[in-house]
Amino acid sequence: MGFAQILANGVVLGTLYACIAIGFSLVWGVLNVINMLHGSFIVLGGYLTYFAWAYTGISPVLILPVVAVLLFGLGYALQYLFINKVVSAPVLTTLTLTFGLDMILYNLMTVFFTATPRRVSMDFGRLEFWGVAMPVDRLIGMGLALLLTALLFVVLRTSRIGRAIVAVRMDREAAALMGIKVNHIYAVTFGIAALMAGAAGSVFAMVFPVTTNLSGVFLGKAFVICVIGGLGGVSGALAGGLALGIIESFAGVLVGPQNAITIGFVLMLVLLIVRPQGLVGVKGYE
Amino acid sequence: MSPILELQNVSRAFGGIKAVNDVSFKLEEGEIVALIGPNGAGKTTLVNAITGVHTPTAGKVFFEGGDVTRQKPFQAARRGLARTFQIVQPFPKMTVLENVAASALFGGHPESLAEAHDHAARELDFVGLGHVAQSPAASLTLPNRKRLELAKSLAMSPKVLLLDEVNAGLNATEIDGALDLIRRIAARGVSILIIEHLMKVVLSLSSRVLVLHHGELIAEGPPQEMVHDRKVIEAYLGPKFAERFQKEMALG
Amino acid sequence: MMARKSPWPLIAMALWLAALALTPVVLGNYEVRIAISIAMFTALALSWNIIGGFTGYPSFSTAAFYGIGCYVGALAQRSGVPAALAWLAAAAFVGGVSFLIGAIVLRLKGHYFAIGSIALVDISRLVVSSWGEVTGGGNGLNVPLLQGRPPEVSALVLYVMLGIMAAAFLANVLVDRSRLGFGLRCIEQNEDAADMVGIDTTRYKIAAYVLSAVFPGAVGAVYASWVGYIDPTDSFDILTTVKVPVMAMLGGAGTLLGPVVGAVSFVLLEEIFWANFLEWNRAIMGAIVVALIFFLPGGILKLDWRAILRRPSRRKAAERKPG
């Protein structure tokens, strides 16, 4: 495989990774919670997209927004009803709580969807350019991932609610004094994170098979990307996702795919020690 | 006789900013020296550089003649170089006595846990907290928390004590009590470097004053001279007001 | 006061050990299997208690220690080392590994430490999976089975697990009553202040981390000998790594008997749900975890039983007063 091909594979993978990690990063950065549900949100998005597509035949690109809205509702509700109650507790408490919620969601998915790998298969053929061959569905996936990422960036930058989220992230007390309803913002943030996860799952199901067993893998990727890119910002998740995608792509060719994943984790551990604020990010508060 | 604590050209930078720049001074045994300077002058950073919280980026720190520049905070404590925090730092779930016993056990040189407790009880009586020894540390009032900080440092049997704004937030009566306590500590032979904003404390306690501004030592001398020093007044009030202030002082 | 501690936890533990040790004599094979499970998880929860409870570091690396123990024990036994020696070797090896890793990850705090400690489980699993020529990779490893009739083997495994559990408990007691434990509690409450009063926090934290690793290492190795087969997915399971702190918290983290009570409650609940609601087992355990966080934040042992027995209205009034 040529250099350009490996790089292109890495970039495509990287944009998907960015999309996977962005919600996790947002929750960690704003709520200071490590959301163990994140992987299952992605799988749920993937499954919902698959089944909606399989039963109705509607284009998954149109299903995606519906799935995203559903996941927003789920995320908002979970945060408002459960996580908000302990949001300022130590990490041991919040992590364990989200893990407990994840056990429930995971179980529900295995019962209703089974663990069979599912993929929305749309054969668009492949595109060749500059000696790089790329299946068209992957390019669509990449385009959607970039679009979603850009959308979130714009929402955080320009909308009222986006500004409120950023304000809460920077200083919770000051934001509360300025009349921002912190609990509502937390729930919205968690909802947006679930929305992004669900949308990422939709995109993922168009490109790769999705199964419940992947929830831990997605979560692991989110960890690595957040640490590489830094917390809370869209740019950090994008940089971290791209970095991991490209590293895995090249390492996969050089040392085999299995070791490539290990390298991602080891890199994360090294970065945690030497540069906890990530490559581009701001250091999250303890 | 060599000084008990000596700094030679100590600097500490964060990124490109030099919070402490080329500071040298000596603390003689038994002395009380005040370190003053406007907010953000680098006073706390200097204390941190002395006690190993931040390792100096340049220069050397000597304690009892030995080079301790690269020490860790716990090593400073064990050597007898103790400090208090501007923001008090108790162990909230422990009793007042246990808080002080921890210092005695780890920072002092007790034979046993029982001895550490005895020592702790003596120090609590010394600072006037004997009556609340069994209360949880988190329940103390601010003046009492400040006293707890002092008891914790004293339990380490320090030779040098660095006091970081122990009087901040106290009212006039409480300050008089604190002044008395600091004098009694000094009477035990402990050399003291005290960071202070209150001129009353500086004037009544210290034999010498160091003035820090923008991380640099700009003046050093007896307290009475320092309060009239042009550079010192400028540092606090800015050049324009300093001029007016001195004119007014001259007039009457 | 620290010097004079109540003897009751020791007495309670001795009785509990005796009761578990009697299962092979008075009960059947099924009960012995549950007793082994209880002993295993009690040992794991007690180990976690030293770093997670006393020191307050949210460690999620139990499964890494346990899994490495599984593999070291299995590999030693496959190369002809007698089982008992292989178990000891596994504990020693895991102790060494945790010492080296601890020196690195214990520089992290809070969320970063939690993530780093989980990553250790993932990294260990990935390394074992991809190092096929030594570890058998994803196919797993067969471990020489213990000699003897099945009931004898289970009894032996039970006694060994009880031994590890007792050792882990003793380690907790010693830590609780020593200088080390006092220092760890200081670190838990305010690490900077602990440093300032002369505690070598790095060394103390590493000591706690190593103590929390050796027993899981041994448990893993014994488990491997018992079941005769191990693979990376089961040995390095994220579920295990979260379950163990949950057990300790269920009983009461940072206490001596909390992890013991928590482990037995959790194992028995899990057993009941496995037997009756196989399909929903995971969701039910998840619901228990959620309930634990909301209704038992201090654990079973910290519950004020008298307050619960009183009428709810009066309880509310009592709660209002201190706030």
A286: in domain: no
> What is the predicted pLDDT for the residue at C302?
75
Question: β-strand B58-63 against B66-67: which pairing, if any?
Answer: antiparallel
Q: Is A92 in contact with C288 (Cβ distance < 8 A)?
A: no
- Strand B81-83's sheet: what is its strand order? B81-83, B160-164, B191-195, B32-36, B208-213, B216-221
* pLDDT (0 to 100) of residue C38: 96
Distance CA A151, CA A65 (A): 13
Measure in Å the smallest separation between the Cα of C124 and chain B Cα atoms: 33
The whole-angstrom separation of Cα A82 and Cα A69 is: 20
Range ranked top by mean pLDDT from A10-14, B8-12, B211-215, C205-209: C205-209
Cβ-defined contact of A96 to C111 (cutoff 8 Å) = no
Those residues with Cβ within 8 angstroms of residue C118's Cβ, 6 or more apart along the chain or in another chain: A223, C60, C61, C238, C241
Q: Which contacts qualify for A156-162: CB closer than 8 Å, 24 or more apart?
A: A156/A234, A161/A185, A161/A188
In whole angstroms, give the CA distance from residue C80 to residue C123. 28
Residue B135: DSSP 8-state:
S
Q: What is the pLDDT, as a whole number, of residue C315?
A: 47
B226-236 exposure pattern, b = at least 16 Cβ within 10 A, e = fewer:
bbebeebbbbb
A14 is a domain residue: yes
The pLDDT assigned to C29 comes to: 85
Domain assignment of residue A44, yes or no: yes
Beta bridge partners of residue B193, listed in sequence order: B33, B162
Residues 224-243 of C with CB under 8 A from A: 238, 242
User: Six-digit token pair at C93?
Assistant: 């090896």
> Which contacts qualify for C32-36: CB closer than 8 Å, 24 or more apart?
C32/C151, C32/C154, C32/C155, C32/C158, C33/C154, C34/C267, C34/C268, C34/C271, C35/C158, C36/C154, C36/C157, C36/C158, C36/C161, C36/C226
Domain locations along chain C: 8-320
- Characterize the bridge pairing of strands C141-142 and C229-230: antiparallel
B–C contact: 3+ Cβ pairs < 8 A: yes
Q: What is the ipTM of this complex?
A: 0.85
Is the residue at A125 inside a domain?
A: no
Q: What is the number of other CB atoms lying within 10 angstroms of the CB of residue C298? A: 14
pLDDT digits (tens, 9 = 90+) for A260-282: 888 888 888 888 877 766 555 44
- A49/A203 Cα distance (integer angstroms): 9
Contact C186 B77 (CB under 8 A): no
Q: Give the pLDDT band of residue A170 (cuts 50, 70, 90).
A: confident
Which chain C residues contact residue A102 at CB under 8 A?
286
DSSP state, C243?
Answer: H
Give the CA radius of gyration of chain B: 19
Q: What is the CATH number of the domain that holds A171?
A: 1.10.3470
Give the pLDDT mean for A208-225: 88
Contact C297/A at CB under 8 A: yes
pTM: 0.88
Task: List chain C residues with pLDDT less than 50.
Answer: 1-3, 314-315, 317-323
pLDDT of residue C312: 53
Closest in A34, A106, A262 to C123, CB measured: A262
Strands B5-14 and B58-63: antiparallel
Distance CA C127, CA A89 (A): 34
- The DSSP element (H or E) to which B148 belongs, if any, is helix B142-154
Say yes or no: domain C8-320 is CATH 1.10.3470.
Answer: yes
Domain annotation covers residue A120: no
Q: Is B128 left (phi over 0), alpha (psi -120 to 50) or beta?
A: left
Q: Please give the pLDDT value at position C50.
A: 96
Separation CA A21–CA A240 (nearest Å): 9
Q: Are A21 and A226 in contact (CB under 8 A)?
A: yes
Q: What's the domain count of chain A? A: 1
In angstroms, the separation between the Cα of residue B71 and the nearest Cα of chain C is: 12
Which residues 72-131 of A have a C-beta within 8 angstroms of C? 82, 85-86, 90-93, 95-97, 99-104, 106-108, 110-111
Q: Does residue C116 sit at the A interface (CB-CB below 8 Å)?
A: yes
Looking at residue C318, what is its pLDDT? 47
Which H or E run includes A62?
helix A60-81
Chains B and A touch, contact meaning at least 3 pairs of CB atoms under 8 angstroms apart: no
Per-residue pLDDT, A283: 42
Q: What is the CA radius of gyration of chain A?
A: 18
Give kind and range of the element (H or E) at residue B34. Answer: strand B32-36
* Beta-bridge mates of residue A44: none
- Contact between residue A149 and residue A17 where contact means Cβ atoms under 8 Å apart: no
Question: Is the CB of residue C253 less than 8 Å away from at least one CB of chain B?
Answer: no
Provide mean pLDDT across the span A237-252.
89
**pLDDT tens-place string over residues B191-246:** 999 888 777 788 888 888 888 888 888 888 888 777 777 777 777 777 777 777 77
B39-91 residue pLDDT tens: 778 888 888 899 988 888 888 999 988 898 889 989 998 888 998 887 778 89
pLDDT value of residue A276: 62
- Contact between B13 and B174 under an 8 Å Cβ cutoff? The reply is no
Per-residue pLDDT at C71: 95
**Whole-angstrom Cα distance, residue C45 to residue C93?**
20
Closest-approach residue (CA) in chain C for A215: C238
- Domain of residue A17, residue span: 3-111+131-274
Q: Is B106 on the interface with C (CB under 8 A)?
A: yes
Residue-wise pLDDT for A44-100, tens only, equals 999 999 988 888 888 888 888 999 999 999 999 999 889 888 888 888 899 999 999
Tens digit of each residue's pLDDT (9 = 90 or more) over A112-165: 888 788 888 777 777 777 777 778 788 888 888 888 888 888 888 888 888 888
Contacts of A5 (CB under 8 A, 6+ apart): A131, A132, A133
Whether C196 contacts chain B with CB within 8 A: yes
Nearest to A223 among C108, C110, C119 (CB): C119
Instruction: Write out the two tokens for A41.
Output: 């949100």
For the residues B158-179, what does the mean pLDDT come to?
85
How far is Cα B207 from Cα B224, in angstroms, rounded to an integer?
A: 10
How does DSSP classify residue C50?
I
| pLDDT value of position C308 | 64
- Please check the confidence at residue A180 and state whether its pLDDT lies above 50: yes
Q: Whole-angstrom Cα distance, residue B132 to residue B164?
A: 24
3-state secondary structure A37-54: CHHHHHHHHHHHHHHHHH
